[in-house]
C-alpha cells in the first residue's frame, strides 16, 4: 500500500530523482555516511540550508576518543555509562568507544588541522571524563574545521550528488518500507520525489523548540517528526540536555555557548556572592557531569533568587585564553565581555536532544530501508545524560556502521523503487492566515517556561493544553518551510511534554521538582512512542494546519 502525502500542491507535476542511497542532512553524520556510501553506491545528499549552517559547524570542545597513552575504550565506556544515569545501552556504548579511536584517526586524514604540539595530538578535558581525551581543532573551532573538511571531501573527492537549500517535507513509504523523501526546493518552490533503495536520516537535533538554545535555526526536529509520521519508533524525548554554561544575556533566542573545555582547563563557577559552590554538590566540583552541574546551578540560583551564576576564568593567562578559545573570546567581546578580566554570567540552556529515532547498533530504525545517525537518532549511547563530546563521535561511528550495513540491505532488495508512483492529494480547504512566526514564538515560549530545565506536573499539563490548542488552531494559507517547521516543532514539543509528564522521577537531565528522587524500580526504562498503525496512512501526513 502506498500512503498519500502532503496536501498542498494538488495536480502539480513533480520532479523525480533516483539514487541507491539518499542521505538527509549535511552535518557530521550525513557527510560521513554519504562519503562512505559513495565508494560503492549512487548517493544523493540533501540539506535544507548550506553546509556551514549546521550544529556540527558550531561544535566547540571537540571529539572524545580513547587515543591517549593512559586511556582505554573500557575507561571511556565506564565514564559514558556512569554519566548516562542507568539508561545507556551498553552494547551501543561498547561499539562507540571501541570503534571511535579508529574513526577519529580516519577523520584526521580528511581534516588534518587537529591541534598538535610537537607533532603530538593535544587532548582536552571536559566534565565527567576521568582523564583528558578530547581532540580539538582550531582551539575551540572544532566544528567548523571538521564540517569544512568533510564538505570539501564530499564535493571534490567523492561522487556524492549534493543539493543545498532542499527541504525534506516527508519520508516516502511503500508497503511499510522507506523508499525516499519528498522535498521542496527553496529557490524555485518545486517539489521533488527523491526515490532511493535506502534513506539515511541525519537531520540533527531540535533545540529551536525552546525559547533559548545554543542550536542553529535549522535545528527544528524535522527528522524525528517525519520519522514518527512514517511509523518509526521514537524514544527518550524527555531527555533534553541543558548545557550549564550558556551566556546569560536576556532577549536572545540563539545563545552563545561557553564550552565545557574552559572548566576543563580550570575555570570556576561562582554564585552571586562570589563563592565557588560546586564542591558542595559533587566531589568533582566544576567537572562533574553536566546534569549534576545544572542541578547545582539551579539550586544556587533559586537560593539567591537569580537567573544566572558566573563563570570565572580571570585567574587564567589572558594570552593563552585567547589562543585556546578564540571563538568564545571573540563571541564574548561582541557583548563587551572580557573572559580574562570579567566574571561571565551563565545559565543552563537547551543544547542537545538525547532522544530521537530508535536505532540498533547498525543505525537501522524500525522502518525497513530507513537508517538514522547523529543527533536525530537514539542509539542508546547517551542514556539519560550525554557525556561531553560524545556526540560528534556518535555521528562518525554509527554513520560508518550504516555504510557497512548497506551492502547487506541493498543486496536483499528485489523491487526497483524507480517504478513506484506516488499520489500527492489535492490541496485541502483554504487556510485562515494563521501567523507562522507568532505560532513559533508561542510554542518556544511554552517550552521554555513550562517544559524547561526544572519540571512540574501542573506546568507540564498546562503546556500540553496550550500546545494542543495551538495545533488545532493553525490553518496556514500557504505551506512553505516555515510552516512545515512549526508543525514539526509542535510534534516534538508535544512529545517532549508528554514524556516529561509520564516520567515521575528525576534522572540525568530530566529534573522533576515534584519527583526529585531517582526511581529505579519504576523508571529504569525508556519511553518509546510509535504512531498507531491505523493512523499511519493519513494521520501521519502533514496537512494544512495540522501537526
Ligand atoms: C554550540 C554547540 C557546540 C557543540 N559542541 C560539541 C562538541 O564540542 N562536541 C560534541 O561531540 N558535540 C558538540 N555539540 C553537539 C554536536 O555538535 C551535534 O550533536 C552534532 O553536530 C549533530 O550532528 P548531526 O550531523 O547529527 O546534525 P547537524 O550537524 O545539525 O546537521 C543536520 C543537517 O540536517 C539538515 N536538515 C535538518 N532538517 C532538514 C530538513 N527538513 N530537510 C533537509 N535538511 C534538513 C540541516 O540543514 C543540517 O545540514 C555542540 C552543539 C552545539 C549547539
For the Cβ of 54 lying below 6 angstroms from any atom of ligand 1, the answer is: yes
Percent of the chain with pLDDT over 70: 93
pLDDT at 543 (0 to 100): 35
Confidence at 5, pLDDT banded by 50, 70, 90: very low
Q: Which of 389, 413, 458 is nearest to 63 (CA)?
A: 389
Q: Count the alpha carbons within 13 Å of 472 in the hemisphere toward its beta carbon.
A: 5
Distance 424 CA to ligand 1 centre (A): 31
DSSP 356-381: EEE--TT-B-SSTTEEE-GGGEE-SS
Does 538 score more than 70 pLDDT? no
Q: What percent of the chain has pLDDT over 90?
A: 86
Q: Helices marked H in 202-353 — which ranges?
A: 222-229, 261-264, 290-304, 318-324, 326-333
The β-bridge partners of 15 are: 192
CA distance 94 to 105: 18
Q: Tell me the backbone φ, ψ of residue 336, rounded to 5 degrees.
A: 60, 35
Q: pLDDT tier at 412 (50, 70, 90 boundaries)? A: low
- Nearest alpha carbon, ligand 1 atom 52: 59
65 has pLDDT over 80:
yes
pLDDT for 13 equals 66
Q: How confident is the model at residue 546 (pLDDT cuts 50, 70, 90)?
A: very low
- Looking at residue 389, its pLDDT comes to 96
What gap in Å lies between CA 401 and CA 379, rounded to an integer? 12
Give yes or no for residue 139 CB within 6 A of ligand 1: no
Contact assessment for residue 544 and residue 8, using Cβ atoms and an 8 Å cutoff? yes
The pLDDT value recorded for residue 250 is: 84
Among the residue ranges 56-60, 188-192, 231-235, the one predicted with the least confidence is 188-192
Residue 544 has pLDDT above 60, yes or no: no
Average pLDDT, the chain: 92
Catalogue the active-site residues.
290
Tell me the pLDDT tens digit for each residue of 259-276.
Answer: 999 999 999 999 999 999
Ligand 1 pocket: which of 391, 396, 397 to mutate (most atoms within 8 A of CB): 391
Q: Is the CB of 221 under 6 A from ligand 1?
A: no
Average of pLDDT values for 48-65?
97
Closest CA to 71 of 10, 27, 135, 18: 135
Distance (Å) from CA 145 to ligand 1 centroid: 14
Residue with the bigger pLDDT between 14 and 218: it is: 218
DSSP, collapsed to helix, strand or coil, labels residue 174 as strand
Tell me: pLDDT of 463 over 50: yes
Q: Could you tell me where the beta strands, DSSP code E, fall in 57-213?
A: 63-64, 116-117, 120-121, 123-124, 134-135, 161-163, 166-174, 177-185, 191-201
- Residue 399 Cβ inside 6 Å of ligand 1? The answer reads no
| Four-residue CA torsion sign, 501, 506, 512, 517 | positive
- Cell numbers that stand for 470 in this block: 495551538
| Cβ–Cβ < 8 Å for 231, 173 | yes
How many angstroms separate the alpha carbon of residue 40 from the centre of ligand 1? 26
Q: Is the pLDDT of residue 145 over 50?
A: yes
* 85-124 pLDDT per residue, tens: 999 999 999 999 999 999 999 999 999 999 999 999 999 9
CA 150 to chain centre: 18
Instruction: Please tell me the distance between residue 167's alpha carbon and the centre of ligand 1 in angstroms.
Output: 16
Stretch among 125-134, 206-215, 431-440, 529-538 having the lowest mean pLDDT: 529-538
Query: What's residue 103's pLDDT?
Result: 98
97-115 burial, b for 16+ CB within 10 Å, e for fewer?
Answer: bbbbbebbeebbebbeebb
- Could you tell me the three cell numbers for 418? 524507480
Instruction: Name which of 124, 394, 391, 126 is nearest 244 in CA terms.
Output: 126
What's the pLDDT at 535?
66
547 band by pLDDT with thresholds 50, 70 and 90: very low
**Residue 70 CB neighbour total at 10 angstroms:** 11
Question: Residue 424: pLDDT above 70?
Answer: no
- Residue-wise pLDDT tens digits, 165-191: 999 999 999 888 999 999 999 999 999
Amino acid at each position: 500500500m502506498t500512503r498519500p502525502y502532503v496536501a498542498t500542491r494538488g495536480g502539480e507535476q513533480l520532479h523525480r530523482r533516483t539514487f541507491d542511497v539518499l542521505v538527509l542532512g549535511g552535518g557530521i553524520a550525513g557527510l560521513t555516511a554519504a562519503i562512505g556510501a559513495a565508494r560503492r553506491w549512487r548517493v544523493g545528499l540533501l540539506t535544507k540550508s548550506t553546509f556551514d549552517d549546521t550544529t556540527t559547524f558550531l561544535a566547540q570542545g571537540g571529539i572524545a576518543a580513547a587515543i591517549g597513552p593512559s586511556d582505554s575504550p573500557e575507561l571511556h565506556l565506564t565514564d559514558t555509562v556512569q554519566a548516562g544515569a542507568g539508561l545507556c545501552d551498553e552494547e551501543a556504548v561498547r561499539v562507540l568507544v571501541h570503534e571511535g579511536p579508529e574513526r577519529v584517526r580516519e577523520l584526521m586524514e580528511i581534516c588534518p588541522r587537529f591541534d598538535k604540539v610537537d607533532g603530538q595530538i593535544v587532548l582536552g578535558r571536559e566534565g565527567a571524563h576521568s582523564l583528558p581525551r578530547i581532540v580539538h581543532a582550531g582551539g575551540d573551532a572544532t566544528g567548523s574545521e571538521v564540517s569544512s573538511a568533510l564538505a570539501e571531501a564530499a564535493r571534490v573527492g567523492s561522487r556524492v550528488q549534493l543539493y543545498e537549500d532542499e527541504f525534506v517535507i516527508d519520508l516516502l513509504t511503500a508497503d511499510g518500507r522507506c523508499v525516499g523523501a519528498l522535498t521542496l526546493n527553496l529557490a524555485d518552490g518545486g517539489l521533488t520525489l527523491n526515490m532511493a533503495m535506502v534513506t539515511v536520516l541525519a537531520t540533527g537535533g531540535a533545540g529551536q523548540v525552546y525559547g533559548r538554545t545554543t542550536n542553529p535555526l535549522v535545528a527544528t526536529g524535522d527528522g524525528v517528526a517525519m520519522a514518527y509520521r512514517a511509523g518509526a519508533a521514537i524514544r527518550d524525548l524527555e531527555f533534553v540536555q541543558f548545557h550549564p554554561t550558556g551566556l546569560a544575556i536576556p532577549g536572545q533566542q540563539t545563545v552563545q555557548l561557553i564550552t565545557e573545555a574552559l572548566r576543563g582547563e580550570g575555570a570556576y563557577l561562582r554564585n552571586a556572592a562570589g563563592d565557588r559552590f560546586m564542591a558542595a554538590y559533587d566531589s568533582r566540583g566544576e567537572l562533574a557531569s553536566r546534569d549534576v552541574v545544572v542541578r547545582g546551578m539551579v539550586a544556587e540560583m533559586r537560593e539567591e533568587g537569580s537567573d544566572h551564576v558566573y563563570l570565572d576564568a580571570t585567574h587564567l593567562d589572558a594570552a593563552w585564553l585567547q589562543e585556546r578559545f578564540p571563538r568564545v573570546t571573540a563571541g564574548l567581546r561582541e557583548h563587551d565581555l572580557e573572559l580574562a578580566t570579567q566574571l561571565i554570567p551563565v545559565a543552563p540552556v537547551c543544547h542537545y536532544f538525547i532522544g530521537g529515532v530508535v536505532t540498533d547498533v547498525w543505525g537501522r530504525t524500525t522502518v525497513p530501508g530507513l537508517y538514522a545517525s547523529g543527533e536525530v537518532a537514539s542509539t542508546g549511547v547517551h542514556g539519560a545524560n550525554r557525556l561531553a563530546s560524545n556526540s560528534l563521535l556518535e555521528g562518525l561511528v554509527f554513520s560508518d556502521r550504516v555504510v557497512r550495513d548497506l551492502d547487506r540491505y541493498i543486496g536483499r532488495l528485489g523491487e526497483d523503487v524507480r517504478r513506484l508512483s506516488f499520489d500527492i492529494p489535492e490541496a485541502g480547504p483554504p487556510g485562515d492566515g494563521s501567523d507562522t512566526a507568532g505560532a513559533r514564538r508561542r510554542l518556544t515560549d511554552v517550552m521554555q517556561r513550562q517544559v524547561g530545565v526544572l519540571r512540574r506536573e501542573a506546568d507540564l499539563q498546562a503546556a500540553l493544553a496550550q500546545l494542543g490548542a495551538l495545533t488545532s488552531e493553525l490553518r496556514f494559507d500557504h505551506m512553505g518551510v516555515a510552516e512545515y517547521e512549526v508543525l514539526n516543532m509542535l510534534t516534538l514539543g508535544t512529545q517532549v511534554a508528554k514524556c516529561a509528564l509520564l516520567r515521575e522521577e528525576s534522572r540525568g537531565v530530566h529534573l522533576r521538582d515534584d519527583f526529585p528522587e531517582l526511581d529505579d524500580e519504576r523508571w529504569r526504562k525508556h519511553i518509546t512512542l510509535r504512531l498507531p498503525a491505523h493512523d499511519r496512512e493519513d494521520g501521519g501526513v502533514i496537512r494544512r494546519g495540522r501537526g
